[in-house]
Amino acid sequence: MKDTIQKRERRKGRSSLSDRTILVPAIRASFAKLNPRWIARNPVMFVVEVGAVITTIIFVLDLFNGTPVLRGPNNELFVGQITVWLWFTVLFANFAEAMAEGRGKAQAASLRKTRSETIARRLVDGQLTNCQTNGLEERISSTQLKKGDLVVCEAGDIVPGDGDVIEGIASIDESAITGESAPVIREAGGDRSSVTGGTRVLSDRIVIQITANPGETFLDRMIHLVESASRRKTPNEIALNILLAALTIIFMVATVTLQPFAIYAGTSVTITVLIALLVCLIPTTIGGLLSAIGIAGIDRLMQRNVIALSGRAVEAAGDVDTLLLDKTGTITFGNRQASEFLPAPGVAMERLVEAAELASLADETPEGKSIVALANRLGSSGRALDKAGMTFIAFSATTRMSGVDFGGRTIRKGADDAMGRWSERDLPVDVRARVDAIGRSGGTPLVVGENKVVLGTIHLKDIVKPGIRDRFAELRRMGLRTVMITGDNPLTAAAIAKEAGVDDFLAQATPEMKLKLIRDEQALGRMVAMTGDGTNDAPALAQADVAVAMNTGTQAAKEAGNLIDLDSDPTKLIEIVEAGKQMLITRGALTTFSIANDVAKYFAIIPAMFFVALPELKALNIMQLHSPNSAVLSAVIFNALIIIALVPLALRGVRYRPIGASALLRNNLLIYGLGGIVAPFIGIKIIDIIVTAVNLAA
């Protein structure tokens, strides 16, 4: 419980919007990002900046020369204010991006702090044989470690970099990375050999082979992702950018041709007002927030202790159709456990329970422990017995039985056929029926006997994690299919699949079958997500569209994955999918909102443009704005302020609820479509009242 609180505090501290350590650099960065070469990456904001430069020039010329050509009927105060607000529009968009970047970097920094610089004990020759006896070590800074170096860590040392244990076994405290305080065991060989820089060795001595050069660890890769300079746009972002660019061109055509139309109508429009109209029409809201939304998506995953190694994977997570989940550890607790005792006819329950417990007292396997635990729950107290006089018979592959002999009692438990041979006769009909039924249901039967008399059966089964069924139901509502992967036989697999509520299962799975399943799903056009930690998961991870590698997993698995879960919790996939969907929804919502906003802006600016020459058009001034200048100014101010107002939404993301696509679309259309049409009418009117009240526009 302590760790969860600790984790929650850390999250809260990281995500705070009003954090000065993020806010101040973000404001500074907003100005630095005014560099045209930077802005040119974003066509919408580039147009705004060009517009701002032009109005600045007009303002300066008006002020000093009063150039008659450029000077309209509007006074300098008006042009000056429009200019200021246009610059603010660009700055606000820059600020949104800088905030998202800053938050990501702050999170990364807090992760990195632990691993900042430690002293590494490098083996001089890089020879393993030396160290076993009397290896020569040198002490160097962890930042100088290269891929392939061998380092030694003993109790109390900080692991200097990411790597694989190639010798020894140690318990390691990973709380600095995962927030979990319980130590984990890492040992050479197998799937538990990977260690992360910044964690602390609590006991024993290990030799680690470093697997990443400085600046190439996955934390470094993630930091690149939140720095928009080196960030690559995701496919959907590129498509959206094209649409926004096309809309920008359409509005440029609509604005530029307005001047000849005005001339035909016997009037003309000042360049300042035309630029104001253009900036109001082009989708600045989404254009300004688009890159912040993408970065914020990665930030949000980081808050959940998931490190994204590509922005594309986060986006793809929203599209996932099929989820592959390992049975063990994800759907069920790792081991089979005793779930009930079934006495043979004529045998009292108490007798069976007592015998079962006695037979398992010395059995240290999880199954054996679970039998003792279940017996205790049922009121037996075998533990109180004096074990001194007991002779325990351990399980062996040949006898396939275990048990205990004491005081003339010979108690055994074992597989049904082995127990049949032991009792020297067939199992009682009723017991045989029970055994078969348990097998059919996916469980494992253990038969218990005393002095060659069969007493009954113990039902061992996989225990499905509580609450997992509800999560699968939620996934189904989100439109995802879950497939359980297990090494069990089909019968067992089917039973557990039914109990857990998964849609499908793959039994007796081999790595090849896993890979084939992913390919088959993809051939049907489905996107596949999976989690994995073992080296043999790597090919499947590399094939999957969204591949979450467990931090506890091997280096090979982490290399193959595109997301890494620091908590090593396979059910995290659900949150990753949600984060992906949230990012897409936020983009769609703000695009819709941005376009819907234009309706009101037309009604503000068009009548204002022709107020003098074509007074009849004031019928379009349905907001009853005070004057042409106040109308144009209010629209421009609204357009700038809405960006800053929506920054929190862009960073937080629009909430996703698994209520089905139609309901989701209807709700969001209502809020961001209809709301997007109505909101600016109200907003512009309010700003107009304020602007008029403080005499900013005549």
Partner 1 sequence: MVVDIIGVVITYLAVAMGAWFLAPHLVKVFQGQRVFLSPVLRPVERGAYRLMGVDETKEQSWIAYGVSVLAVTIVSLIFTYLVLRLQDKLPFNPQGFGPVPADLAFNTAVSFTTNTNWQNYTGEQTMSYFSQMVGLVMHNFLSAATGIAMAIALVRGISSRQLKTLGNFYVDVTRATLYVLLPIAFVAALVLASQGAVQTLSSYPVAHTLEGAAQTIAVGPFASQEVIKDLGNNGGGPFNANSAHPFENPNGFTNQLEIFLELLIPFALALMFGRWVGNIKQGIAIAATMGIVLVAATGIAAWAEQSGNPALTNIGVSQANTATQAGGNMEGKSVAFGPIYSANFAAATTGTSTGAVDSSHDSFTPIGGMVPLVLMQLGEVTPGGVGAGLYGMLIFAVLAVFIAGLMVGRTPEYLGKKIESKEVRLASLVILTSAFNILVWTAISVLVPAGLKGPLNPAAHGFTEILYAFSSTNGNNGSAFAGLTGNTVYYNTALGIAMWTGRYIFYIPILALAGALAGKKVVPAGPGTFRTDTPLFVGLLIGVIIIVGALTFFPALALGPLLEQFQLAAGHLH
319 binds partner 1 (CB under 8 A): yes
Are the C-beta atoms of 484 and 514 separated by less than 8 Å? no
Which is closer to partner 1, CB of 334 or CB of 660? 660
670 binds partner 1 (CB under 8 A): no
Q: Out of 439, 487, 539, 673, point to the residue binding partner 1 (CB under 8 A).
A: 673
Q: Out of 82, 672, 679, 697, point to the residue binding partner 1 (CB under 8 A).
A: 672
Q: Out of 276, 485, 493, 585, point to the residue binding partner 1 (CB under 8 A).
A: 585
For 18, 516, 535, 559, 626, the CA distances from 539, given in Å and listed in that order, are 44, 10, 8, 10, 67
- CB 120 → partner 1: shortest distance, Å? 44
Tokens standing for 486?
A: 């297990």
**Under rule CB under 8 A, how many of the chain's residues touch partner 1?**
73
Which is closer to partner 1, CB of 70 or CB of 669? 669
581 binds partner 1 (CB under 8 A): yes
DSSP letters, 255-313, are: HHTHHHHHHHTT----HHHHHHHHHHHS-HHHHHHHHHHHHHHHHHHHHTTEEES-HHH
661 binds partner 1 (CB under 8 A): yes
How far apart are alpha carbons 23 and 398 in whole angstroms? 70
Within 281-300, the residues that bind partner 1 by CB under 8 A are: 281
Which range, of 5-13, 339-347, 477-485, 554-562, touches partner 1 by CB under 8 A?
477-485
User: Residue 393 corresponds to which amino acid?
Assistant: I
HEC string of 225-245?
HHCCCCCCCCHHHHHHHHHHH
For 114, 178, 411, 489, 569, the CA distances from 336, given in Å and listed in that order, are 38, 28, 22, 14, 20
How far apart are alpha carbons 686 and 624 in whole angstroms? 11
User: x-or-dash pattern for partner 1, window 206-235, by CB under 8 A?
Assistant: -----------------------------x
Q: Out of 188, 494, 664, 678, point to the residue binding partner 1 (CB under 8 A).
A: 664
669 binds partner 1 (CB under 8 A): yes
Tokens standing for 598?
A: 């234009």
DSSP secondary structure letter of residue 536: G
Within 596-635, the residues that bind partner 1 by CB under 8 A are: 596, 598-599, 602, 606, 610, 614, 616-617, 619-620
478 binds partner 1 (CB under 8 A): yes
Which is closer to partner 1, CB of 176 or CB of 320? 320
Which is closer to partner 1, CB of 185 or CB of 253? 253
Are the C-beta atoms of 572 and 548 separated by less than 8 Å? yes
- CB 639 → partner 1: shortest distance, Å? 15
Active site residues: 326
How far apart are alpha carbons 527 and 517 in whole angstroms? 12
662 binds partner 1 (CB under 8 A): yes
Within 111-170, the residues that bind partner 1 by CB under 8 A are: none
Rounded to the nearest 10 degrees, what angle do helices 218-226 and 76-113 cross at? 170
- CB 75 → partner 1: shortest distance, Å? 25
Which range, of 100-108, 149-157, 304-312, 590-598, touches partner 1 by CB under 8 A?
590-598
Indicate the length of the chain as a whole number. 698
Closest residue by Cα to residue 498 from 469, 474, 523 = 469
User: x-or-dash pattern for partner 1, window 231-270, by CB under 8 A?
Assistant: ----xx-xxx-xx-xxx-xxx-xxxxxxxxxxxxx-----
Burial 560-575 (b: 16+ CB within 10 A, else e): bbbbbbbbbbbbbbbb
Which is closer to partner 1, CB of 550 or CB of 595? 595
Instruction: Return the bridge partners of 164, or none.
Output: 194, 209
Which is closer to partner 1, CB of 341 or CB of 681? 681
User: x-or-dash pattern for partner 1, window 519-538, by CB under 8 A?
Assistant: -----xxx------------
Which is closer to partner 1, CB of 599 or CB of 690? 599
Which is closer to partner 1, CB of 10 or CB of 476? 476
Which range, of 28-36, 378-386, 545-553, 593-601, touches partner 1 by CB under 8 A?
593-601
- CB 613 → partner 1: shortest distance, Å? 10
- CB 663 → partner 1: shortest distance, Å? 9
The CA-CA-CA angle for residues 679, 91, 237, to 5°, reads 75
Which is closer to partner 1, CB of 160 or CB of 580? 580
Closest residue by Cα to residue 647 from 334, 291, 311, 385 = 291
Q: Out of 221, 476, 516, 652, point to the residue binding partner 1 (CB under 8 A).
A: 476
Which range, of 107-115, 429-437, 445-453, 587-595, touches partner 1 by CB under 8 A?
587-595
Are the C-beta atoms of 320 and 480 separated by less than 8 Å? yes
Tokens 């005070």 appear where?
626
